[in-house]
Structure 1
Amino acid sequence: MASDNDSERGERRHTERAISLHESVSPDRWCVNWADLKYLKQEVRQAIKNGEITPPDDGSDDFLGTAENYGPSIYTVTDQHIKPITQRAGKMSWALMRHPEGLDCDVFISHAWQEGIFEFLSKVLHSRPRHARHAWCCMLANPQHLDIAAMLQSPRHSPFAVALEASTTVLVVPNRLCSVYTRLWCAYEAYLAQEQGKIILIARASNWRRVCNAMWYMALAAFVGSALAVLLDFQGWTRYVNLGVTCVAAIAGVGSMVTAKNTLRVALNFIGEVMCWYLVVEWDTVGGLYSRHPSPFLDYVAAVTQRAWIVCLAATFFLLEVDRINSEVTGWEAQQLARGYTGSIVHATCSRPEDDEAIRREIGGTVEAVDYAIQVLMSAGMSTPTLREVAARGVCIHQAANPAIALPMLLLGPFLMLTFVTLIFDSIYLRDSNPEWFARLLPLRATTVLQRVIMLLKIRCSPRDERCYIYLVIQKCATVYLAFITPAMVKCQLNGYLSYDSTSTWFLIPPIAYSTMLAFVMLGFRRTANLPCGLYLLQMFLARGFRTLFMTTTGCGAPPNEDSESDSESEIGTDTS
């Protein structure tokens, strides 16, 4: 009897200390860091291995068949792992068990509890916002052994609401079973995020395995192209064959960027890679710029530099394949987020009737605004005040949060470095051998370098939605730029040299292109929309595929699916590594 009394007194002391701890630390500081989530992942794996976490007897979570990729549900992990651990530690939440002093809240995680723990953790860890250090997650933040219901009596003053207000970003974690927005508490979190102008992001798992697979078949394409160049001998027709190969590569690149058909994009990227590596081996060096300089060293410089440009173009086709994979996976996450969602939070459910009544009373007449914020999130992959405003003005923002990176990386990375190297050679060799063109080219090339550096800094300093806009602007402007520069490349191939007569104007194309890019980059989303015909410009920048490119402004709904193939869950999968 004495032992039982001692045990009860010990339990009460634990409860009192846990209550005191949670009262002394503000709810928005009941956070964990990313290392904590990695630790939890390891601990859960070990607990499953040791038989400490098993499928519930009621059959609600038979996770053994999917333990590697998905794992037990959040419900199961909470009941069989988090509760026992925090019970022994003193009944505080898992977050305050790890950090009794609390942590500042950067990210608020919104999820449905039905997802597998590994599915959840892999998506959160992969999608954590840049510079964010700590996250608030209800299963880890709330004290599972205390009276949580008492904390939720007033939704506006609940730990959820306090933490979300303190955060800068809301990270929504989709799952394969149902939309998080079929749960009323998640809908309420969307309401708060919309009211407070928060950035809402969709979490997704890493796709590095699929990218690695892409590296293999793109490497095969490089081998095929190089082998064709070695095996085929066109003798005097080499220059004309190279011209044809260049045109095929250009068509493949443009086609890959403007089509939404998944299989066609794979084929075009493969063909483009083959063509580029054929040119790397078989390229006939174009002369002209340093032709008046006596040094034979410059002939080697021209040969190496021109092949370096082609290698960069070959790398672009690999990046286009990465873009395709990212687009595919992002689309799948959006499908998961929409699974079972009727289009309105009116139909969301809650397990406690009193919570249901309180939440609906607080949301009141803003249901349509919340529904619209969720619609923007599902369409764009992100919901921000700017995106919601632009979408409300009629611009289709489908997958705006998933910009193509191929051409931006090409222009702001290797092309920038090659231009800088060219500037150095110009300043050393061109001044004496060709002073007229030195005076023309050097300022313009230096200007394009400066413009690209400014764009890089702008990307670095901009919020996430503006960064996506910048990538989309560069992608579209670069496509037009390459379309204009291709005829000059064709002419060079035919002549065997670059024209430097007094009537040549090709050298004006790069500065004009980069000036246009920089102008729209500096304007940003909102100011571009406010330009005359600005909405149509935004529609062009955000367009995905032929249909979207030529459609009139239609709002934030996704355009019709251009690919007859449907992605299955097994094709996309979840990378939990």
Structure 2
Amino acid sequence: MTWRGRWNSERRGPLKRLLAAALHIRLTSAALCPNGTEAPWACHSGTAVGNCVAGRPADPCRCLDGYYPVGKEGWSPSTGRGYEFTCCLGDTDNGYTSCGEDGYVGILSVLLLILGIVGVSASTLTIRYTKNLEPLTSEDLSIAEGKMLESDGASLHRTVEKHMWCVTLEDLRQFRRLVRHAVANGVIKPTDQDPFDISDSRIGPSMHTVNTQYIKPVTALAGNPSWALMLHPGGLKCDLFITHGWAEGVFEFVDQIINSWPFGAKAAYVCFLSNPQNLDIGEMIQSPEESPFAKALQSASQVLAAPNHKHSIYTRAWCTFEAYLAYTWGKSIYTATSPPPNFWPLSLRVASWSLLTLGVFFCVLMHGNRQWALWSPEQIAFVAYAFGALTAMSALCFACLMSTGRHHWQVTAVAVYACSLCTAGYLATNIFQTSFRRPPYFVPFFMAPFCFWAMECDRLLGIEAAKQARQLRQGFTGKIRDATTTNPLDGLRIRGLIERSGSEKAVDEAVQVLLRMNLSTPELRKATSHAGSLGNASNWSRSIFAACLTFYVAQAFNTALWRTERGFQWIPPVAAAEALIVLFGFQLLPRDRRPFAERTQVLFMLFIPGFLGLIGGKWYDAILHGIACPLIILVAFAGPARTSRLSVPGRMLVRLLFARNPFGSAESESQEERGPEPEEDYVSV
């Protein structure tokens, strides 16, 4: 019996395995593979030479006795091949030691499968689980039990300036907890005018009901101050003004504000919490321009408009007056949005589904097909093409449904899951045939859960955006003169003030801008002054950002692999820098410039032939990363105001990116040409 037979006849320990490998390499001086390498190094596709027979893309080569062909090594331009295989120490009788890509892809596939199952299960249970009441803190209990320090509310409101009657974000969270417990304990009860559902935690009782049954009794025990000065007797300077119509449910309102609270804002003016509800408020607002509303708005740098499910807030004269003042004083105005129900569980379930499908396909191919040869290479190649086509079809279906406002359709949600499934199949079959180390495959592999999480985010946020747009227009006639107030005298004063100033048309136009764009900031006002009216400027697509980021990262790795030619070695570091700028720079952009920055990424459609492999090479990469990508990034970070100042091309580009007629202008555009309703103008893909 030869030395090889003796070693194969018994189970070998690690030391014996190592010794066998050393003897085997030393005693076999002849070439073992077509390229002249020796085991245990890689052998590649080719004809049978000696004791090594190379296989096809999905079939490892056969190695000498004592080695098992399971490892698949990386792909690189230097080899000129799309795949390589490794001969690993071991044999079929006594087991083998996995090496090469099998050493980690096999483990990774099982890990993905486990993470996917756990993630999908946990997300589903969270969605179905009804959250209990959040417990009250000791400070909450002191308020609920009327143990706050008593003060003279009237004197307090005379000494503390009006723009200091504000509450913090944490105060709003606390107020929500208190009202939730008050409803559960029967302190706040349904009435004939407000027959709310006591089990509902999304809308809740109206502001009128909460004010009458809770705010007034609690603040009366503290000496009749406002809720804000009851919590902060010294006052807090207002840097955020919140306008609302009192018809909304308390939970609806608070959730909107918490979800939309601007970064950096410290204290907000909220009329039902800031004004003393037990005192004579009518006396405080006899002069609209000297009212607490106007003083707080003058102090604030940002305004949040909170819509409701009953009617447009712009049917209320005070809300239109506040919007007009904010617009003329150059404040940044944003529309508050409700958080989608179960937003995080639903979106994370899609990401977990992506992990699960990747795990299933990789387990089947990396373990099942390697062990039992379930499919031939030809069959796997055909399946790869089929999955690629299905991925494109499902992605296109999702894009069409989103762009036409069908966010709430079940088929839109199905398209997200189908696209994730097909993408996992496409990646698994292609990686199995080539190599996991190819940038066009391993980057999408790791980015896939993030991309599909982003698609689900777009779908859920699109539903809320469409609902918000309907709420803002519900019952609004477009004229300030049709707006109403609870006290008719207040309406007469506001309309009289506006008519005397000759600003009635300006008020109507200011509200129309807010309805059309959902926000108004100095940046966007400059852009519209140059480029004309724009569409919805408050929403941006997470999925487009994720797809573009995937491209940037893949290009950074791909150019590092390929662009080693003399004179082109500058491309890899530039591509890596561009990826980092997009990743971190986008997060630092102001809120009103992110939608424009995201829309600029559609310019990458010009380079689709390169993405599909129809064109390429060093000059393509040089043009892409030396000219195209820097220009796109520059326009994205310049913002719509600066871009629109670049004469005719800049204005046309800004209008085109906001889905407007690029040949329109600020002067010639009529009211009828100002685009579709906001719910149709939500462009997420």
TM-score by length of 1: 0.78
How far residue 226 of structure 1 moved from its aligned partner, in angstroms, is 6.3
Q: Which amino acid counterpart does residue 516 of structure 1 have in structure 2? A: L
Q: Distance in 2 between matches of 1:132 and 1:163?
A: 14
Question: Match of 2:422?
Answer: 275
Alignment of 1:364-379 (within 5 A): 364=499, 365-379=502-516
Alignment of 1:8-19 (within 5 A): 17-19=152-154
2:213 aligns with one of 65, 80, 83: 80
1:135 aligns with one of 248, 268, 273: 268
Matched, 1:171 2:317: no
Does 1 or 2 have the higher relative contact order (CA < 8 Å, sep 6+)?
A: 1
Alignment of 1:532-543 (within 5 A): 532-543=648-659
How far residue 207 of structure 1 moved from its aligned partner, in angstroms, is 1.4
Matched, 1:198 2:331: yes
Q: Distance in 2 between matches of 1:120 and 1:261?
A: 25
Kindly indicate whether the alpha-carbon contact (under 8 Å) linking 1:279 and 1:310 is maintained by their aligned counterparts in 2. no
Question: Match of 2:603?
Answer: 477
Alignment of 1:73-472 (within 5 A): 73-207=206-340, 209-210=342-343, 212-216=345-349, 219-220=352-353, 223=356, 230=364, 233=375, 235-236=377-378, 238-239=380-381, 241-250=383-392, 252-253=394-395, 256-257=398-399, 259-262=403-406, 263=409, 265-284=412-431, 302-303=437-438, 306-313=441-448, 315-364=450-499, 365-388=502-525, 390-391=527-528, 397-412=534-549, 426=560, 436-437=564-565, 439-440=567-568, 442-455=569-582, 458-472=585-599
How far residue 419 of structure 1 moved from its aligned partner, in angstroms, is 6.0
Other structure's SS at 1:136 match:
strand
How far residue 386 of structure 1 moved from its aligned partner, in angstroms, is 3.8
Other structure's SS at 2:612 match:
helix
Q: How many positions carry a matched residue from both structures? A: 509
Kindly indicate whether the alpha-carbon contact (under 8 Å) linking 1:276 and 1:311 is maintained by their aligned counterparts in 2. no
Question: Match of 1:290?
Answer: none
Kindly indicate whether the alpha-carbon contact (under 8 Å) linking 1:380 and 1:556 is maintained by their aligned counterparts in 2. no
Q: Deviations over 1:405-438 (max 9, x none)?
A: 22324444x6666666678xx4xxx7xxx88437
Matched, 1:557 2:675: yes
Question: Match of 1:571?
Answer: none
Q: Deviations over 1:222-279 (max 9, x none)?
A: 6567656748835225445434533543454455446325246445433321221012
Q: Distance in 2 between matches of 1:95 and 1:560?
A: 35
Q: Which amino acid counterpart does residue 529 of structure 1 have in structure 2? A: S
Kindly indicate whether the alpha-carbon contact (under 8 Å) linking 2:469 and 2:678 is maintained by their aligned counterparts in 1. no
How far residue 539 of structure 1 moved from its aligned partner, in angstroms, is 2.7
How far residue 285 of structure 1 moved from its aligned partner, in angstroms, is 6.8
Kindly indicate whether the alpha-carbon contact (under 8 Å) linking 1:269 and 1:318 is maintained by their aligned counterparts in 2. no
Say which is worse superposed, 133-142 or 310-319, in terms of deviation: 310-319
Question: Match of 1:32?
Answer: 167
Q: Distance in 1 between matches of 2:221 and 2:320?
A: 34
How far residue 65 of structure 1 moved from its aligned partner, in angstroms, is 5.2
How far residue 187 of structure 1 moved from its aligned partner, in angstroms, is 1.0
Q: Which amino acid counterpart does residue 486 of structure 1 have in structure 2? A: F
Q: Distance in 2 between matches of 1:26 and 1:452?
A: 49
How far residue 529 of structure 1 moved from its aligned partner, in angstroms, is 1.8
Q: Which amino acid counterpart does residue 140 of structure 1 have in structure 2? A: L
Kindly indicate whether the alpha-carbon contact (under 8 Å) linking 1:312 and 1:415 is maintained by their aligned counterparts in 2. no
Over the residues paired in the alignment, what is the CA RMSD in angstroms?
3.3
Other structure's SS at 2:264 match:
coil
Q: Which amino acid counterpart does residue 565 of structure 2 have in structure 1? A: W
Kindly indicate whether the alpha-carbon contact (under 8 Å) linking 1:396 and 1:542 is maintained by their aligned counterparts in 2. no
Question: Match of 1:63?
Answer: 196
Q: Distance in 1 between matches of 2:664 and 2:236?
A: 47
Q: Which amino acid counterpart does residue 407 of structure 1 have in structure 2? A: I
Q: Which amino acid counterpart does residue 109 of structure 1 have in structure 2? A: I
Q: Distance in 1 between matches of 2:433 and 2:570?
A: 23
How far residue 47 of structure 1 moved from its aligned partner, in angstroms, is 1.5
Q: Which amino acid counterpart does residue 573 of structure 2 have in structure 1? A: A
| Structure 2 unmatched runs, 5+ | 1-149, 366-373
Matched, 1:487 2:622: no
Q: Which amino acid counterpart does residue 382 of structure 1 have in structure 2? A: L
Using the aligned pairs only, state the percent identity.
30
2:642 aligns with one of 527, 536, 560: 527
Kindly indicate whether the alpha-carbon contact (under 8 Å) linking 1:285 and 1:306 is maintained by their aligned counterparts in 2. no
Residues 392, 267 of structure 1: CA spacing in aligned structure 2 closer, same or farther, 3 A cutoff?
farther
How far residue 519 of structure 1 moved from its aligned partner, in angstroms, is 2.3
Q: Distance in 2 between matches of 1:435 and 1:81?
A: 69
Q: Which has the higher helix share?
A: 1
Q: Distance in 2 between matches of 1:480 and 1:252?
A: 22
Other structure's SS at 2:570 match:
helix
Question: Match of 1:54?
Answer: 189
Residues 83, 261 of structure 1: CA spacing in aligned structure 2 closer, same or farther, 3 A cutoff?
closer
How far residue 448 of structure 1 moved from its aligned partner, in angstroms, is 2.9
Residues 303, 419 of structure 1: CA spacing in aligned structure 2 closer, same or farther, 3 A cutoff?
closer
Q: Distance in 2 between matches of 1:234 and 1:403?
A: 44
How far residue 507 of structure 1 moved from its aligned partner, in angstroms, is 5.8
Q: Distance in 2 between matches of 1:155 and 1:147?
A: 15
How far residue 327 of structure 1 moved from its aligned partner, in angstroms, is 1.7
Residues 260, 238 of structure 1: CA spacing in aligned structure 2 closer, same or farther, 3 A cutoff?
same
How far residue 380 of structure 1 moved from its aligned partner, in angstroms, is 2.1
Kindly indicate whether the alpha-carbon contact (under 8 Å) linking 2:545 and 2:598 is maintained by their aligned counterparts in 1. yes
Q: Distance in 2 between matches of 1:183 and 1:282?
A: 60
Q: Distance in 1 between matches of 2:656 and 2:347?
A: 29
Q: Deviations over 1:9-50 (max 9, x none)?
A: xxxxx88x3233222221111111111111111111222222
Residues 261, 228 of structure 1: CA spacing in aligned structure 2 closer, same or farther, 3 A cutoff?
farther
Other structure's SS at 1:64 match:
coil
Q: Distance in 2 between matches of 1:126 and 1:549?
A: 33
Other structure's SS at 2:477 match:
coil
